Amino acid sequence: MTPVAELEAVAVELRTRLSEATGAEFVAKDTHLLSLAVAQALDVAHDVKGTVERFGVDLSGLRFPTGHSFQHDFATTYARTVATPSHWSELERLLVDPHEAQHVAQHNEGVDAGWWPRDASHSVLYLAGVVARTAAGSVYVGKVEGDGYAVTQAVRVWLTGRPRPLSEVIEQLAASYNLLQLGTATAEGVLRSHYATMRNGLVPNITCAKIATDLLNERVPHLRGRFGVDV
């Protein structure tokens, strides 16, 4: 079995472990009705943004994906449902599934703490940060995505021996989630802490980072650090 094939098998098992630990349900995004509705709404929003800007209203600071990009380039978590593009490879899912399952863990923590009911989610503050760009929402997104991106980088460190440069990760995170300056600073603080942990050869103390790296160490320890940095 090739190294990639071995990792593909681990990626399938990882979904099972993440589901058992967090209650995450993984679905195909291209057939997920809510994702399809969101994609349509994003396209409408782009049309409205373009129309308003023709009248001299500057909305250049408001960034959000097109419906096509939302469906094909991003995984999205709604409460306990993780919707992933069906065309992604198992290797892509190995990097992203633990990140998205961490958002399910964050949702569960909020329910347990009484911050929101089970049938809602952390999506309220999340949307407030990304779309409405409230200060509280932006800080919240910076925190949860700081942890989420650190999960992905922990898996990347296991595969390649190093994370992506911190500055690149922060820039991508801030742009992808439309963060205010305070939200970006929050994300940077969270990531710097996790990067320091990884520099010391340890796994960040984040639930799904530990689940993913524990499984990799258990199933394919001989593949650790054997993949190119472009993973």
Residues 94-114 have pLDDT tens digits of 999 999 999 999 988 876 666
Residues 10-32 have pLDDT tens digits of 999 999 999 999 999 999 999 99
Asked whether residue 116 carries a pLDDT value surpassing 80, the answer given is no
Contacts of 138 (CB under 8 A, 6+ apart): 129, 179, 180, 182, 183, 186
Between these two residues, 21 and 73, which has the higher pLDDT value?
21
| pLDDT attached to residue 113 | 61
pTM here is 0.86
Sign of the CA dihedral running 146, 93, 172, 47: negative
Q: Over range 27-51, report the average pLDDT.
A: 78
Asked whether residue 47 carries a pLDDT value surpassing 90, the answer given is no
Q: What is the crossing angle of helices 207-219 and 90-112, to 10°?
A: 140
Closest C-alpha to 37, from 9, 76, 5: 76
Closest C-alpha to 190, from 137, 118, 142, 138: 142
| pLDDT attached to residue 78 | 86
Burial class (CB within 10 angstroms; exposed 0-12, middle 13-18, buried 19+) of 61: exposed
Which of 18-27, 52-61, 68-77 is predicted least confidently?
52-61
Residues 169-207 have pLDDT tens digits of 999 998 888 888 998 999 999 999 999 999 999 999 999
Q: Are 151 and 162 in contact (CB under 8 A)?
A: no
Greatest pairwise CA separation for the chain in angstroms? 60
